[in-house]
Amino acid sequence: MTAVTTDPYSGLQMVELSHLWGHNAPSMPGIPDVIMYRSVKHAQHGVMAQRLKMIMHSGTHMNSPLHLIQKGAGAADIPLEHFFGNGVILDIPKKRWELVTAADLEKATPVIQENDFVVIVTGWHEKYSDSLEYFGESPGLSKEGAQWLVDKGCKLVAMDTPQIDHPLATSLGPHRGGPLMNRLTAKYEDETGLDPKKEHPEWNIAHKTILAAGIPTIEQVGGDVKTMVGKRATLYAAPWNWKHGDACQVRFVAITDPTGNCRIEPGKSE
């Protein structure tokens, strides 16, 4: 499969920013795997239909404010302007347990503009797997970085990490109901010499900061995102029109118009 798909009519170029999802998709520690099976099969019935049981926070998915903010907007209540718009795909490489800071965002190129969709690419999407490394050792967004994005008036924030926050600021580490990864806290302490409770004292603080401002987030960005880093693009992703939906899998796509010939139809008859 080529990284770029060109529409023959409009000349628009589209790039996949989603991980391939399905049976045995990597699932967050503490969360059951996706259960999927064919309840109706071609060989037996001449038609195929599948049943599935799952949590909506697997693979490339969008989080609504309701996920972490009581009485926040559910998926169906998020304004459509947060699903389709212009933005930046930022190349901000980070190693394990590092933080994306406000300073990183300030100096990133292309420059983040007001109302932008912001996609932060740390390189961690290349480690996407059911592993301690992917989920437990990922980078995360700092509290100050999250506030910087809120102050900038961003419409959507997406990252190629398993979660928005540093893993030691989540229940994967020594926070609410954690650690869901039993080895993580000791591994972090042994290899960094740092106390995770002092370094990351607030639970999911970056994610809560963004969602509290009414800004949806996308986690586990992947696909061919590396071909888009350092560029501006039109970005599209939409969850189900789901009342009280906390999250939903999305097909996340970057769209560019190299020809400059495409336009949005005015919606009027000729």
How does strand 84-91 pair with strand 49-53? unpaired
pTM for the full predicted model: 0.95
Structure confidence at residue 1 (pLDDT): 59
The phi-psi region of residue 205 (left if phi > 0; otherwise alpha if psi is between -120 and 50; otherwise beta) is alpha
Residue 74: CB atoms within 10 Å:
19
- Taking domain 4-42+49-256, whether its CATH number is 3.20.20.80 is answered by no
64: DSSP letter: P
The whole-angstrom separation of Cα 7 and Cα 138 is: 35
CB 235 within 8 A of CB 86: yes
CB 121 within 8 A of CB 219: no
Q: Which residue has the tokens 């939906």?
A: 245
The whole-angstrom separation of Cα 236 and Cα 255 is: 8
CB 106 within 8 A of CB 147: no
Secondary structure of residue 221 in the 3-state scheme: strand
Comparing C-alpha atoms, which of 124, 153, 129 is closest to residue 140? Answer: 124
- Beta-strand ranges (E) seen in the chain are 4-6, 13-16, 35-40, 49-53, 61-63, 84-91, 99-100, 117-121, 140-141, 156-159, 217-219, 231-236, 247-249, 253-256
Q: How many CA atoms lie within 13 A of 99 on its CB side?
A: 17
The whole-angstrom separation of Cα 14 and Cα 5 is: 5
The domain ranges of the chain are 4-42+49-256
Q: Distance of CA 228 to CAs 13, 180, 234, 237, 264, Å?
A: 11, 34, 11, 16, 23
Structure confidence at residue 270 (pLDDT): 65
Comparing C-alpha atoms, which of 110, 106, 72 is closest to residue 91? Answer: 110
Residues of the chain with pLDDT below 50 are: none
